[in-house]
Copies of this chain bind each other. A is one copy, B any other.
C-alpha cells in the first residue's frame, strides 16, 4: 500500500486559507491524492482534508508538522497530520453477540480495515473462540461477580496496556461510565441497533416492532456520556413489513449494524471524520 500523509484541518473560514494550505503543499512537492473541503456557512467554519503522496514529498512527518505550524497558528486551526503507514491500534469490546465482532475481524483480516487489533475484551467469555481464530488476545472482564466500577477499571487498564488508539464497542452491552466516556472522547465508537434518535436505550428492535415502523436501522456514533446521543458517523436502514417478526427484525437489522459500524470505523481510521460540537463532517 502506497504511503500517504493525511492533513486534516478545522478552523474559522476566511479568504486565503485554501491558498495558504495548497501553496504550502505545492512548495513541498506534495501530490494530492484526494482533497475534500466543506464550508459551514452557518457556523463560519471551514473543514479540510488532504491526502498526499509521500514519494515526492520533501519533508518527513515531523518536519512537516514543524513547517506547517506557522500557517496553522495564523489561521487558528485545529489540525493533525497522520501517516498512513502508522497503523492505529483498535481495541474491540464485545458481549455475547458475534456478528459485529466477526465482521470487523474479517474486514481487518482481509485488509479492508487498515489497523492493528491488539485485543478483544468481553464482559462474557463466549467471544474467546473467535478471538482465538483470529489470533487476537482475549480478555474476559467479569461484570457479574464483581462491582461494575472494578470491571470498568480493568477495561481501562487493558486499553492503556494495549495503547488503544480507538475503542470499538461491537455490540458491547454495558454502558460506559462518564469518566471513561470523557477519557475516550472522539476515540470510542459505538453501534446502536436503531435509527437514532428513534429508539435509544434498551431493546430498540422491540421498540420498533411495537411502534410499527416500516424501516429499521442502525447508527454508528462516537460515545459520549449521554447514552446514544453522541455525534453520528454513519446510519443504515432496511425495509420491513408487518410480516416481519421481532426475530426477523433482529436478523435484518444485523446487516445494517455491520455495514454502519464497518463504514464508521473505516472513516475514522482514514481520518475522514471531523467532530464539530455534536455533529460530524465525514469526507466519505
Query: A residues near B, CB below 8 A?
Result: 13, 15-16, 18-20, 22-23, 25-27, 29-42, 47, 56, 98-99, 102, 106, 110, 112, 133, 195-199, 211-215, 217, 231-235, 237, 239, 241-243, 245, 251, 255, 259, 278-282, 284
Contacts and interface: CB of A to CB of B under 8 A. Distances in A.
Closest 3 CB pairs of A and B: A212-B279, A19-B26, A35-B37
Contacts of A239: 239
24 contacts: A16-B26, A18-B18, A18-B25, A19-B22, A19-B25, A19-B26, A19-B27, A22-B23, A32-B37, A33-B41, A38-B242, A98-B106, A102-B102, A112-B251, A133-B133, A195-B198, A195-B215, A211-B278, A211-B279, A212-B231, A214-B232, A214-B234, A237-B237, A255-B259
Given A18-B35, A99-B106, A110-B99, A237 B212 contact: no
Contacts of A279: 211-212, 242
A39 B33 contact: yes
Contact of A22 (B18, B198, B211): B18
B37 A26 contact: no
